[in-house]
Amino acid sequence: MSIFPPKRAPLRLLLVILVVLTCLAMSRLQLWRAETRGERFAREQTALVSTPIFLSAQQRDLESLIGRAATARGHWLTEKTIFLDNKIYRSRPGYHVLTPLQLSGSSSVVLVNRGWVPAPRLRSEVPSITSPTGEIEIVGVVHNFETRIFELQNTSPEGPVWQHVREVDYRQISGLDALPVILMQTAANGDGLVRDWATPDNPAMKHYGYAAMWLVFALMAAVYGVLARTTL
């Protein structure tokens, strides 16, 4: 004997079909996202090993810069160094050290994330960083400024220790003509900073997992429909 009234059987079948089709559509959507994001990730990884671009004051197009290996030549503005707080490395608290590099022959700067340094024992102190003088060349990978930040209240950074580094805040507080990117330094230059940048995962794999999940849901709905029909 069926647990469903016979008059409701067509409605139940229609609902099962709708659920199966919806799940299949969601699975296809995730496959499309996997393909597009996977292709973008592959282009970014290819750019990392390609010939580095040379950063200049005229380069302001984010799309052509983000994810690229790059070099920049200039000198440090050490008095403008900021320390990005709450950076953990191997269970130790510390900071990321960000110093603007004034580009040679220009008043423009590019903000360079020079790496991680352990925090001093006292929170009132900031680390002492060794910075070479004169013109230097920095090699790294171009990243963008922070954009999505959750804060209980909108506060502007004060002093050398910052919780976040947003482009609008940095331009306003530093008073510098900064490129709209951050250069993540990769090559060592004897300053003792740690540059163990994490390698990003291919985002396509996450979407392939979602696609498989929706296929499983579709299969479960189809099996339910078949079993329910056999009980009529």
| pLDDT tens, position by position, 33-78 | 988 888 877 766 666 656 788 999 988 887 778 888 899 999 999 9
Helix intervals (H) in 90-202: 167-174
Helices first, then strands: H and E counts in the chain: 4, 8
Look up tokens 């001093």; give the residue.
Answer: 120
Q: Which residue has the tokens 């647990």?
A: 3
Determine the average pLDDT of the residues in 170-195.
89
Q: Which carries the bigger pLDDT value, residue 76 or residue 152?
A: 76
Cβ-count burial of 209 within 10 angstroms (0-12 exposed, 13-18 middle, 19+ buried)? Answer: exposed
Per-residue pLDDT, 124: 82
- Residue 30 φ/ψ, nearest 5 degrees: -65, -35
**In terms of pLDDT, which residue wins out, 147 or 30?**
30
229 or 22, which is more confident = 22
Instruction: Give me the residue spans of the domains in the chain.
Output: 6-44+204-230, 50-202
- Let me know how long the chain is: 232
Q: Which residue has the higher pLDDT, 94 or 49?
A: 94
Please check the confidence at residue 1 and state whether its pLDDT lies above 50.
Answer: no
pLDDT band for position 225 (cuts 50, 70, 90): confident
